[in-house]
Amino acid sequence: MSEEQIKNPGTEHSRSLEAQFEARILRDEKIEPKDWMPEKYRQTHIRQMSQHAHSEVVGMLPEGNWITRAPSLRRKVALLAKVQDEAGHGLYLYSACETLGISRDELYEQLHTGKAKYSSIFNYPTVTWADMGAIGWLVDGAAIINQVPLCNTSFGPYARAMVRVCKEESFHQRQGYEIMVKLTQGSPEQKEMAQDALNRWWWPALMMLGPTDAESIHTEQSMKWKLKRKSNDELRQQFIDQTVPQAELIGLAIPDEDLKWNEKTKHYDFGAINWDEFWQVVKGHGPCNKERMAARVGAWERGEWVRDAAMAHAEKQTTSLKKEVS
Ligand code: BYC
């Protein structure tokens, strides 16, 4: 042991671990759960991955609202499959998060007590069937743009979960866009429904990609760790550039008077986002925050007997296995 390590145990050693870790990130190596990682890296991943998992699970609620009222059997089957996929995404993400040494119960508790956030977008109501189209097209569309770069994120279990999630998200986006296409080809009332849904979901979808880069607190560090591969503003611009032609193709108008193609930048310029609204929703004062949390907490409480029964069964199995072995 060097003199420095005797005087200051751990310091030099942890500096060298940190240097090795940074070098691995620079080489684009995946960090795996049992590898050494800085505590802040671990915490930041727990924060982002758990919020992502919570968003998937809370995100089932606005669409779940329409399963029993889908206009045809085909629409019902597709919506049901989509909502089940979201439950699956939540489960992969919770499992990936548990590899960082936090339990599922702790993660749920953070959601139920409001300590952990979930995406602002799911605090808006789904008032007509066209909202199923707008969510698939815009919300899943924004989610794909955000999540494709995450397939390359530095933490192995998160990156691998994202590969499957993205495949499923692209089916979700297409089923949403197809609903919009059909509505715009229908009666004037149906076309109006589609336009109204776009009007209500457009701005929240832009907000969903997070605060501006100037306001974002985590982006700089998360980009260095290659947790985030693109900034919130870059993703938002990409989403707008991709979505505007899709709206034009089906004859819908983006509800933004300042939206204009910029020949110089080769991007769309767009109007001011109402960030006050975004922060109000994030702080719990959106149209449906209370309803969403009540639904999640209620499901947790009503499920207590199932968890107890499963644990009792597992304990019984373990005891009988132990008896067999001895
Ligand atoms: N809503 O420093 P920033 C889906 C918070 S579900 C609420 O930029 P970061 C789907 C942020 O947490 C897809 N809060 O943060 C499911 C931070 O507060 P804390 C959900 C937000 O993490 C069902 C503070 O604001 N996708 O696709 O660098 C049906 C400052 O922000 C939001 C993911 O979760 C928001 N929108 O960047 C259909 C993707 N934005 O934590 C579809 C993974 C920001 O310090 N997550 N905040 O208290 C990410 O990519 C990043 O976490 C974000 C934010 C881009 C969202």
Query: What are the tens digits of pLDDT across the range 156-166?
Result: 999 999 999 99
Single out the residue of 158, 262, 146, 251 nearest to residue 205, CA to CA: 146
Ligand 1 binding pocket includes 143 (Cβ within 6 Å) = yes
pLDDT at 322: 86
Residue 199 contacts residue 207 (beta carbons within 8 Å) = no
The pick from 48, 177, 296 for probing ligand 1's pocket by mutation, whose C-beta has the most ligand atoms within 8 angstroms, reads 48
Ligand 1 binding pocket includes 218 (Cβ within 6 Å) = yes
Ligand 1 binding pocket includes 282 (Cβ within 6 Å) = yes
Ligand 1 binding pocket includes 120 (Cβ within 6 Å) = yes
Atom number, ligand 1, closest to the C-alpha of residue 219: 28
Single out the residue of 238, 61, 84 nearest to residue 147, CA to CA: 238
Query: What are the tens digits of pLDDT across the range 87-139?
Result: 999 999 999 999 999 999 999 999 999 999 999 999 999 999 999 999 999 99
230 CA distance to ligand 1 centroid (A)? 13
pLDDT at 4: 47
Ligand 1 binding pocket includes 123 (Cβ within 6 Å) = no
Ligand 1 binding pocket includes 131 (Cβ within 6 Å) = no
127 CA distance to ligand 1 centroid (A)? 24
pLDDT at 9: 54
Q: For every one of its 326 residues, what pLDDT tens digit does the chain have, with 9 covering 90 and above?
A: 445 444 555 677 778 999 999 999 999 999 999 999 999 999 999 999 999 999 999 999 999 999 999 999 999 999 999 999 999 999 999 999 999 999 999 999 999 999 999 999 999 999 999 999 999 999 999 999 999 999 999 999 999 999 999 999 999 999 999 999 999 999 999 999 999 999 999 999 999 999 999 999 999 999 999 999 999 999 999 999 999 999 999 999 999 999 999 999 999 999 999 999 999 999 999 999 999 999 999 999 999 999 999 999 999 898 888 888 87
Ligand 1: which residue has its CA nearest to atom 38?
Answer: 140
Ligand 1 binding pocket includes 175 (Cβ within 6 Å) = no
260 CA distance to ligand 1 centroid (A)? 27
Please, which residues have CB within 8 angstroms of residue 122's CB and are 6 or more apart in sequence?
55, 58, 59, 61, 62, 288, 292
Enter the tokens of residue 320.
């009988």
72 CA distance to ligand 1 centroid (A)? 34
Per-residue HEC secondary structure of the chain comes to: CCHHHHHCCCHHHHHHHHHHHHHHHHCCCCECCCCCCCHHHHHHHHHHHHHHHHHHHHCHHHHHCCHHHCCCHHHHHHHHHHHHHHHHHHHHHHHHHHCCCCCHHHHHHHHHCCCCCCCHHHHCCCCCCHHHHHHHHHHHHHHHHHHCHHHHCCEHHHHHHHHHHHHHHHHHHHHHHHHHHHHHCCCHHHHHHHHHHHHHHHHHHHHHCCCCCCCCCCHHHHHHCCCCCCCHHHHHHHHHHHHHHHHHHCCCCCCCCCCEEECCCCEEECCCCCHHHHHHHHHHHCCCHHHHHHHHHHHHHHCHHHHHHHHHHHHHHHHHHHHHHC
In order, the DSSP letters of 145-170 are: HHHTGGGG-SBHHHHHHHHHHHHHHH
Instruction: Specify the pTM.
Output: 0.93
56 CA distance to ligand 1 centroid (A)? 11
